[in-house]
Structure formats: structure tokens, C-alpha cells
Amino acid sequence: MKKKILVSAFSNLYTDQRIEKVCKTLFDNGYPINLIGNDWGGSEKMERPYPFSRIALRSKSLKTAYFEFNWKLYYELKKKADKETILLANDIDALLPNYLISKKLNIPLVFDSHEIFTEMPAIQNRLSQKFWRLVEGSLVPKVELMMTESESYAEWFYEKYKVKAVVVRNIPRKILSVPEIPENNPKIILYQGAINQSRGIEKMIVAMHHIKNAVLKIAGDGPKKKEYEELVAREKLQNKVFFLGKLKPENLREVTRTADVGFSLEENNGVSYYYSLPNKVCDYIQSRVPLVMINFPEMKRIKNQFNVGEMVTDHKPETIEKAMECVLERGREYYRSELDKAAEVFCWENEETNILKLFEKASCK
């Protein structure tokens, strides 16, 4: 019998595809999984083949919600963990209680850093950044088993803390039924993901003034949605920009397949964004949708291997417009063979070996 894995995250779990994929990989390979999240941001009904729970939070602000979650998570882990348990903490905001329990029971802890949390734009130059940097600086150097989402992240953690993280990219499962190329009129430009700051969404909205015979569809939700809806109204682009809201993963995949081009235009507001490999990049690749990407390290790695779209060096509307027009004029068929090759490389099935090796190592602790 393999050791039980207690997985925890500050997340309502519903749309967190990385946690779902990691848990399924481990579950399918014989590990008993128990997943713990919280109800911050909702508690939508979901089904998983293993037990999961959401810690109820009474906090009204995110800052106090973090502290409440960590306090309650400690007691939840204390109740559920035993000597035959492996702990899996997702991100810095779940690490402290996991670390304390791992030391208390002398059991292995795996840390999965989905991003460089302390360098996220949302917490920069705030008191909370100082707190999370203190947690990171105190605990990460003591972590023996770690994985993270990109090679650039792994290099950053090694340079800063001398911790060797296994790279497990947050990329989709292979799509076996290759989608047909749609004949859209007007053409569809797609953004999928969280509607947050520094994602280049507002730059794309403004660029829509000059992109002919195309509409922009924005699939997702987030704190900037209302602001961007107001921007669309001010710019009088209601007939060219459409918000689809938060979609279930299976519905989002269907929408992605219909797009003519996707984009990933993150802005350099901290190393967490600069060194990221956004989920949507490989989601587009699996759906054989060409991209317009900013020239950040992880996206350059992909572009250097496979011609899956066009790359831009700045966020000027005219730069974005030129790259979009290029992809739309060439069409999906132009990029198809390179997208096919990239889809064979950038799929979850190729990441699973690294996960299983890491947890085999944890099992021997």
C-alpha cells in the first residue's frame, strides 16, 4: 500500500487545473489522495475520484483569509496526517502549516511552487509582500522535495535558495482528436485565463480598434473584469470585444478549439510573470491554435523550438496589431505542422514521469 498524500492549497479547487492534474496522476498510480482547499471565491459543486474538502473561511478580506486558512489548515493536517502520510503544499500560502506538521510528525513534505508568489504584481510594495518573503526565506531553503512550473522558476529558486526544484510544467493533457480548422467570419481572437492585471488584456482591447474583420473573446473571470468591461464601453468596442465569463474546463476547451489565434501578452511587473510559462500557451498549442506571445524566456524557448505563432517585444497597440494581422492573414493551416509537433512535446503525459519520481523519493523518506 502506497503512502497517503495530503494535498492542500489556498484555492476553491474548482478551476485549479494543475492541482487536478497532479492529484489524478498520483491517484491513477495508486496513491490515496486527500485534497484540502477552501471556499474563498466560491464552493462550486465538483466531482473527484478521491476525497476532498474545503475549509470554510469567515474572513472578508484576502489578507485575513490567508491567516485564517493557515491556522485552520494546521489543525486539519494535524487531524488527518499520520506516519504513513506525504504532505503536498501548493504555493507559499499553504507552506507554513505543512512544514510545521512535517516536522512534528517527521514525515515528508513536497512543496509545489506554481509561481514565485512573493514577486506577484498583486502583492508588490505591500506589507504582505514582506511577510510572505519572510515565510519564503525561512522555509524554502529547508525544503528537500520541491517542484515548480518552469525552468526559469527552477533556476530562480536555485540561485536564491540553492534548492533544486523538479520542473513540472502546468500544461494540458494531450488532445487526441485533432480539431478541424474553423471558417470564422469574423475571425476570433481569444484570451483565456484569469482577468488580472499585467496580462496585456487592456492592450489587446485597445488594439482591436485597428484589427479588421476580427472579434476578441475573453474567457475567464477576475478582479479586473469590471474595469475592462468599462474600458470596452469607453472605447465603444462592444461590437468587437465579448466577455464569456468563467467556463468549466471542458467548455473552455470547446471555445479554444474555435479560435483563430490566442495571445499571451504578460507584462514584466515582477519576475513571477517574467519567468512564467502561462497555462494558456500550451492550451492553445494542444488545440492547434497559433499564438501571439511576448518575448519572455519560457515563451522564447517554445518559439525557438517550434514556429507556433508570432512574437512581440513590446505592448504598443501597433505592435500587437501587426502580429495579430500576420497570424490571421496566414491562417491556422500555415502553423499546423509546427503546432502538431509542439503538441507532442508540451503535454501533461510527458510531465508525469517527473512527478512520480519525486513522490517515489518522498515515499522513501
Q: Where are the domains of the chain?
A: 4-171+348-363, 187-345
Residue 232 CA to residue 226 CA, distance in Å, equals 10
Contact, 249 vs 183, CB < 8 A?
no
Nearest in space to 72 (alpha carbons), one of 47, 43, 93, 87: 93
Nearest in space to 120 (alpha carbons), one of 111, 110, 132, 109: 132
The pLDDT assigned to 124 comes to 60
Residue 35 CA to residue 33 CA, distance in Å, equals 6
As a whole number of Å, the CA-based R_g of the chain is: 21
Residue 21 CA to residue 171 CA, distance in Å, equals 9
The pLDDT assigned to 249 comes to 80
Nearest in space to 200 (alpha carbons), one of 186, 218, 187: 218
The pLDDT assigned to 225 comes to 96
DSSP strand E in the chain: where?
4-9, 33-38, 52-55, 85-90, 109-113, 145-148, 166-167, 187-192, 214-219, 241-245, 261-264, 291-294, 309-312
The pLDDT assigned to 163 comes to 96
Whether the domain at 4-171+348-363 and the domain at 187-345 fall into the same CATH topology: yes
Place of cell 493557515: 70
The pLDDT assigned to 118 comes to 83
Overall pTM surpassing 0.75 (yes/no): yes
Which residues, other chains included, contact 99 with Cβ-Cβ below 8 Å and sequence gap of 6+?
A: 89, 109, 139, 142, 143
Q: Which CATH superfamily is domain 187-345 in?
A: Glycogen Phosphorylase B; (3.40.50.2000)
Length of the chain: 365
Q: Strands 187-192 and 166-167: what pairing?
A: unpaired
The pLDDT assigned to 123 comes to 66
- Taking only the tens of pLDDT, the chain with its 365 residues reads 899 999 999 999 987 889 999 999 999 999 999 999 999 988 888 899 999 999 999 999 988 999 999 999 999 999 999 999 999 999 999 999 999 999 999 999 999 999 988 887 666 667 778 888 899 999 999 999 999 999 999 999 999 999 999 999 999 999 888 778 888 999 999 999 989 888 999 999 999 999 999 999 999 998 999 999 999 999 999 999 999 998 888 899 899 999 999 999 999 988 888 999 999 999 999 999 999 999 999 999 999 999 999 999 999 999 999 999 999 999 999 999 999 999 999 999 999 999 999 999 999 98
The CB-based long-range contact list for 101-108 (8 Å cut-off, 24+ gap) reads 101/74, 101/77, 104/78, 105/81, 107/81, 107/82, 107/83, 107/365, 108/144, 108/145, 108/362, 108/363, 108/365
Architecture of domain 4-171+348-363: 3-Layer(aba) Sandwich (3.40)
The pLDDT assigned to 321 comes to 95
The pLDDT assigned to 120 comes to 76
Quote the DSSP letter at residue 350.
Answer: G
The pLDDT assigned to 15 comes to 77
